[in-house]
Amino acid sequence: MQLAPYDAGIFSIIPPLIAIILALISKEVIFSLLMGILSGTFIYSMASGLGLAGTFTVTVSLLIDRLSANSDMVIFLVMLGALLSLVIAAGGAGAYTSWASKRLKSAKSTKLAVCFLGLFLFIDDYFSCLTIGNIMRPLTDKHKTSREKLAYLIDTTAAPVSIIAPLSSWAAAVISILRGSTKIDGMQLFLLTIPMNLYALLSVFFVFYICIKPKANFGLMAKAEKRAQEDERKSENDDYPKNNKGTMADLIIPILVLIIVSVISLLRSDFGTALVLGVFCALLCCFIMYIPRRLLKLGEFFSSLCEGIKSIVPAVIILILAWTISSVCHSLLSIGPYIGSILNTSIFPMTLIPALFFMAACGLSFATGTSWGTFGILIPIVIPICEAAAPHLLIVSVSAILGGGVFGDHSSPISDSTILSSQGAKCPHMDHVNSQLPYALTVAGICFIGYIVFGITSNMGYWISTSISLGVSLILLSSILILLPRTRHT
């Protein structure tokens, strides 16, 4: 079904607002996303003369289209769920847990291990979110770390790390957008944006600080951590079959196969295909490693595979709905041109361009749950503005958009990586969103100031301005992290 875009103006923001507000109130994500989608397709159908019945026809058409367009990621996630189930059932994850539990003697060291795993699994945020949660959850449970904190650690070392890693799915997406928007080499421009991607850098700093200084927690996260200290929790991994024959190699080798095959495949195919090929080879590796050694019988192998697929279905449903509401906003109601027209007609000092585009990216990505869509909308707008009026602000403005897009991906209740972080940590989704949001907003507020500082000092040159802005931002964030928790005791 061909659906022509409709310029809905201010009405284009209604679907994401409904979805987000309902999610915050009801804590029912699937219901909230459906209501947001239906509100958008209703607006479109009424404006297009399709009538009330068109609301449901358009909704079904979009759901099918989004599932088809993202079929590679759905297949990857389903197969990844199967892979994680297999390495648990074969005893590989248990062997790692036993090995790590002898060396990670405290909650601090365990949380730091989660963060370092996030840095290591930089290739894709989906992969990072699901893998780390399933591997580390028994250890964080053992040391009474809340599921909310685990979800935050996973989420903050997913997208914020992937956006500053040149060999990642995020880098590939951004470079493809940059190549179509400017004459500057896409990879070169991407590398230059990394030092001023304040949201990503400060988020990583924030998460490590919180791990090292647990008393720095504040807000709902502090309450969740206190509650976890008083709770006796049995890890949900205990529901999987026990296998004492497995070794750490049964976990590490399949994951390495996934990463290596995916990276090599990138030279010949797109990222989605590369990930599917990587996880398929990892599953084949599991079969070759587990069956001959009798770690799993043939029936147990496929039973565990099916259990893993079933475990990932709820997250996949939410993701399909999240992709659909994004399509409603962008493809049907033209939220991008609406936001772009506001920015193009606004009158503001050129020094504020990075800060204002950072705010625009934060708002757009939070409302739609898509960072890549935000990049695709705002980067083509900011580049011609900077090339014509402020070339010295081009790099930092692109950095601001990338950082703002990550904010939405990191904090929106309808974002895919937020959803998968909740799934990986086995944390109620809205508990993760509500406990993480104050942290994300704190970092975003500091970033806004940092981009203002850059604009003011931009005549000093990119690297000097970067040093000043990053230094000021780190000082401000450190001060807040020291002072904010103390307000709980005054």
Per residue in 344-353, pLDDT (tens digit) is: 666 667 788 8
Q: Rounded CA gap, 415 and 367, in Å?
A: 9
Residue 81, pLDDT above cutoff 70: yes
Q: Looking at the predicted structure, is the pLDDT value of residue 68 above 50?
A: yes
Q: Which residues contact 218 (CB under 8 A, 6 or more apart)?
A: 438, 484, 485, 487, 488
pLDDT at residue 97, as a whole number: 73
Range with the lowest mean pLDDT among 68-72, 133-137, 380-384, 447-451? Answer: 380-384
Least confident of 20-29, 235-244, 337-346: 235-244
Percent of the chain with pLDDT over 90: 21
Mean pLDDT of 222-237: 72
pLDDT tens digits along 258-269: 888 988 887 787
- The size of the chain, in residues, is 490
- For the segment 381-403, the average pLDDT, to the nearest whole number, is 83
Cα 36 from Cα 332, distance rounded (Å): 13
User: Taking all residues of the chain, what is their mean pLDDT, rounded to a whole number?
Assistant: 82
User: Is residue 212 scored above 80 in pLDDT?
Assistant: yes
Q: What is the pLDDT of residues 3-18, one digit of tens each?
A: 777 888 888 888 878 8
Residue 287 is predicted with a pLDDT of: 94
Confidence of residue 340 (pLDDT cuts 50, 70, 90): low
∠ at Cα 179 (190, 122), nearest 5°?
40
Counting beta carbons within 10 angstroms of the beta carbon of residue 329, is it exposed (0 to 12), middle (13 to 18) or buried (19 or more)? buried
- State pLDDT tens for residues 173-207: 677 667 655 667 667 888 888 999 999 999 999 99
Please list, in sequence order, all residues whose beta carbon lies within 8 angstroms of the beta carbon of residue 67, skipping any fewer than 6 positions away: 74, 320
